[in-house]
Structure 1
């Protein structure tokens, strides 16, 4: 079979952090003879070269190329491209890893859409990754109709023939932003770029030792010299006008303005801060016309204007002011309704711990601002003008992988008077819908723990916060677990952060089944009936298991769980008298790895019927005997003669 994909991994002293990468590459769902993995060892001095050579000796998919250290990842990637045999090449860093179906899905998507470049959804584990780009699949994307420019890391799948036809390779040597130069040209010259957003393909990982190259402090002069090379690519393949300005805006916003804001800027040493500011000022004055900064969000535009004017002290003062900006989120309701979980919340920006307020009256404060007070007034007025377009997002984020998914929401925007009425608060009230059948890109969430996050972009600040704290003071506990769409979904407030999370398929004790008492159970005409504290939107099959008091005794029978949590099942043959049977229930018998949950009652077969008694605790024979005696004296009215 021809090689479909060549995975190229530049390697330099990753130590144990390479193991997750290796494991993910070897367990890909793509047939083993359809892809290859090329590790390019860039002069590693740890045990990695021997580890990779041993791997290559065992697995025909793996090749290893050793070379002297080149100083950065550009040359190893180029060596891998030249050695590749695949129709597409996929670039992976040695401390990151892929989703199990990444290669298969990305290749199929690229072929289906005749894409020269395929961008797969990313999840950041301790690292920021693009969010807006992955709201939906984009089979035909370009820099003019999609925020492609937000994703300039090299972790893409690219058609090898396309690279050869245009002669595109990574800049080499010890330098920064080689990926920006490569990816920008690929975007601008590709016949088509496809964005796959319904599956997490790439996990971008911050190492526990925080030694990823991209996290090391850079030398400003060299960094912005390299950044100018990416701007050169844009100028080479676009003409003056809105498209070029929009592309340039990405570097102004991400690589310049954001580096000069809030605590990120203030926490730098003073001499480094000044050097960074001067280099950024030079690029802004030299390369960017007025159309680049004008569409920025308010706070970003303020910083850009101060930089253009060379006002270092004001940039520091503004950073000190906006270091106090935060987000407050108040959960207002979490309920099951019509088979979905509806989560209501309110969100607003804060400043120095209290609600942020804005000018209530219209007006056009002077631009550009002449001092800090003018800058804050202008920022407030412009933010109010944009408020009617602000939409908060609710995301489900899988706790282990950090994969996240947007949930649909309805929003109401409220302008609330503050103080004497000269200022207002901008409050967003939203109700998001989490459908267990479709919450993850149209499919159900996998088993595990999912945290609920709220994301708000307003005024040029993008803030994220877990939904909490738990509204205990409002008397609104989390709703019961739901048996919905073939899975058990338990909303709960976490113990540590008192924030909302969903347990999918893992919960046992938290389900609340222990609140059922033996007195809640009836047995009549060989049918067991009990109401469980569960949300059930429609009747579903469950599996009732009876485990006898003799080794190996086990009976199973299907029952029905109906709305209201009503469980009903016909009892299997449990003769002879004198036996006691513990009860457990599987709420999702059609699911792989489904769990049986213990019920807090047992069935004792008496000579003339069935007694429902408390289930014994582990090792609790005395407890069981006591329960049987109590049942004999107090629950004879619940005895039903079998067969009568």
Structure 2
């Protein structure tokens, strides 16, 4: 059988982190005869080589190539390319891992779209990954019509014959940005690039020991000399003009301007920051004209203009101001309707805990930046305006899996509001409504079992910042925070607020015991009543009646006595059950609710905050379970006994004498 995919992994002292990579490969949905793996050991000195040799001995489709240390990942990746036999070559890092169906899905998607390069959706665990690129599937795109330049890491599939045709190899030796040079050349030579966004294919992780190669401080001189090599490739393969300027703007934005903004600049040692600035300015003034600067966001253009004008002090002053910017969000409403969770919220940027403001100049909206007169003049001479495109501001709401960082954009309808702030300035507030359907929120598929967090991201005037939602919320939100049963088979979706900050999250399909922890909120024990022989429990479950059978069950339990089920009927947010009084009489019983679980295939039982007490006559009542059981009535005290007078002394002496004579007779 033809090998579909060859996976190439450069390996150098990954330690325990290689295990996740290995397990991800062993779980692949492609059969072992459909793909092969090459671990290229680049002179590791830990236990990894022996571990990989044992792995290869157990799995014929996994191979290990040992070579002397080369100092970086370029040479081992090239070794893997030379050994590969697959139609496509997939590069992965030794401390990352693949989604279980990644290779199969990416291969099929690439074949279907005749792609030379296939990019699978990425998740960042503790590190950033592209966002806009993976909003939708992009079957046949190029750098001219898609934000491919947002992703220049090599963790993609490349058609092997395409690499051979253009003799494409990674730059070797200890260096930086060899992946940029390789990937941008592939983008520009490819006839078609396919972006698969509806399945999470690749997991980027941040190692606990902080030793990811990309996170290490670099030598600015060597780094930007390596970056010039990527620029050289672009100049070789494009003509001067808008496309080249747009491609160049990626490096101006990410590798230069963003390194000189906000906390990212301020946390650097001052001497290193100044050296970094000098090297950045060298590239900017050599290679980037006004057309490149025009392709980046307004505030980024300001920083680029200050670099051109050599105004480093103004760059630092602006960084200090930007470091104080933070996004804020208020959760205004939360309601279930027809199995959908409706979320209303308001968002706004703040600076130093006060709302960010913009200036008005006639019909123009202007950025209120802390710049010197010299800086303002220099920007004017470069035709860099301080106009603030507030009308293009927007907000996203993202649901993100807490463990593996899978995330999905929710549909949002937003509205911009200008709020007068006095002195000719105004604030910008964004109100928004979003709908979360648990059965389609994961890119058209159901949210899987687990904890999912809600994040909002404000995009305005070149700032794109993210925060959690829910810590600040309206007074009426709690009333709408119900648990819902959705899907078929049914499972519970429970919105809750996290401990501490109080951010909004979802527990899907009872991943934790949060239902029991939240039961006091979901049910008021004082409102639970017995009517005749039926108990009515006002449980805040937004229950839908569609589907076979009742969605919830009740039972009454007492240790060492038994468990007695009861027929339950759910009606809106009330659960009613007929009490089996003849079995419960004379005792106090715990009440448990059985909620369906799609993952378990059966109900998961949770204790409610109420108990049922049935007296000897069969009369029942509901009490708070934390109420201690009634103590039995104390027995009446009997009359005190009269004290007897002590025996006379002669009687006690006679008794002792008698006992002594008896003992003497026994011993004689």
For the pair shown, which has the larger CA radius of gyration, 1 or 2?
Answer: 2
Task: Look up the match of 2:529.
Answer: 520
For residues 476 and 175 of structure 1, do their structure 2 counterparts lie closer, same or farther at Cα, with a shift above 3 Å needed? same
- Residue 29 of structure 1, CA deviation: 2.4
- Residue 556 of structure 1, CA deviation: 6.3
Q: Distance in 1 between matches of 2:273 and 2:114?
A: 46
Residues 1:542 and 2:559 aligned together = no
Residues 1:97 and 2:97 aligned together = yes
2:554–2:577 CA contact under 8 A, matched in 1: no
1:489–1:503 CA contact under 8 A, matched in 2: yes
Deviations 1:370-390 (A, max 9, x none): 5346689999x9676511121
Further displaced range: 44-53 or 273-282: 273-282
2:331–2:472 CA contact under 8 A, matched in 1: yes
- Residue 549 of structure 1, CA deviation: 5.5
Counterpart among 425, 428, 431 of residue 427 in structure 2: 425
- Residue 488 of structure 1, CA deviation: 1.4
- Within-5 A mapping of 1:46-445: 46-362=46-362, 371-372=374-375, 385-420=388-423, 422-445=424-447
Residues 1:505 and 2:514 aligned together = no
Q: Distance in 2 between matches of 1:298 and 1:50?
A: 53
- Residue 407 of structure 1, CA deviation: 0.9
2:334–2:477 CA contact under 8 A, matched in 1: no
Task: Look up the match of 2:483.
Answer: 481
SS in 2 for 1:211: coil
Deviations 1:300-347 (A, max 9, x none): 000111112222232223222322222222222222234322222222
1:616–1:624 CA contact under 8 A, matched in 2: no
Further displaced range: 241-250 or 274-283: 274-283
Counterpart among 583, 591, 596 of residue 588 in structure 1: 596
Q: Distance in 2 between matches of 1:374 and 1:473?
A: 49
1:478–1:493 CA contact under 8 A, matched in 2: no
Task: Look up the match of 2:500.
Answer: 496
For residues 258 and 28 of structure 1, do their structure 2 counterparts lie closer, same or farther at Cα, with a shift above 3 Å needed? same
Cα RMSD for the two superposed structures: 3.3
Unaligned runs of 5+ in 1: 627-644
Further displaced range: 589-598 or 168-177: 589-598
For residues 550 and 14 of structure 1, do their structure 2 counterparts lie closer, same or farther at Cα, with a shift above 3 Å needed? closer
For residues 610 and 603 of structure 1, do their structure 2 counterparts lie closer, same or farther at Cα, with a shift above 3 Å needed? farther
Q: Distance in 1 between matches of 2:318 and 2:411?
A: 35
- Alignment size in residue pairs: 618
For residues 345 and 371 of structure 1, do their structure 2 counterparts lie closer, same or farther at Cα, with a shift above 3 Å needed? farther
Task: Look up the match of 1:641.
Answer: none
1:42–1:67 CA contact under 8 A, matched in 2: yes
Deviations 1:21-65 (A, max 9, x none): 112221222223322221111100111111111111222232111
Further displaced range: 455-464 or 316-325: 316-325
For residues 543 and 344 of structure 1, do their structure 2 counterparts lie closer, same or farther at Cα, with a shift above 3 Å needed? closer
SS in 1 for 2:541: coil
- Residue 125 of structure 1, CA deviation: 1.0
- Residue 607 of structure 1, CA deviation: 9.9
Task: Look up the match of 1:467.
Answer: 469
For residues 545 and 625 of structure 1, do their structure 2 counterparts lie closer, same or farther at Cα, with a shift above 3 Å needed? farther
1:548–1:579 CA contact under 8 A, matched in 2: no
Q: Distance in 1 between matches of 2:608 and 2:501?
A: 30
Q: Distance in 1 between matches of 2:582 and 2:145?
A: 67
Counterpart among 533, 546, 562 of residue 540 in structure 2: 533
For residues 603 and 82 of structure 1, do their structure 2 counterparts lie closer, same or farther at Cα, with a shift above 3 Å needed? same
For residues 342 and 550 of structure 1, do their structure 2 counterparts lie closer, same or farther at Cα, with a shift above 3 Å needed? closer
Task: Look up the match of 2:607.
Answer: 598
2:245–2:295 CA contact under 8 A, matched in 1: no
1:616–1:623 CA contact under 8 A, matched in 2: no
For residues 600 and 473 of structure 1, do their structure 2 counterparts lie closer, same or farther at Cα, with a shift above 3 Å needed? closer
Q: Distance in 2 between matches of 1:62 and 1:371?
A: 62
Further displaced range: 550-559 or 223-232: 550-559
- Within-5 A mapping of 1:620-639: 623=629
Deviations 1:474-518 (A, max 9, x none): 775661212233331222221221222122123321342663469
2:516–2:608 CA contact under 8 A, matched in 1: no
For residues 584 and 29 of structure 1, do their structure 2 counterparts lie closer, same or farther at Cα, with a shift above 3 Å needed? farther
Q: Distance in 1 between matches of 2:420 and 2:609?
A: 53
- Residue 266 of structure 1, CA deviation: 2.1
SS in 1 for 2:55: helix
For residues 56 and 475 of structure 1, do their structure 2 counterparts lie closer, same or farther at Cα, with a shift above 3 Å needed? closer
Task: Look up the match of 2:645.
Answer: none
Task: Look up the match of 1:638.
Answer: none
Q: Distance in 2 between matches of 1:551 and 1:32?
A: 53
1:263–1:319 CA contact under 8 A, matched in 2: yes
2:72–2:172 CA contact under 8 A, matched in 1: yes
Q: Distance in 1 between matches of 2:57 and 2:163?
A: 30
Q: Distance in 1 between matches of 2:76 and 2:630?
A: 69
- Residue 250 of structure 1, CA deviation: 0.4
SS in 1 for 2:316: helix
Q: Distance in 2 between matches of 1:606 and 1:62?
A: 70
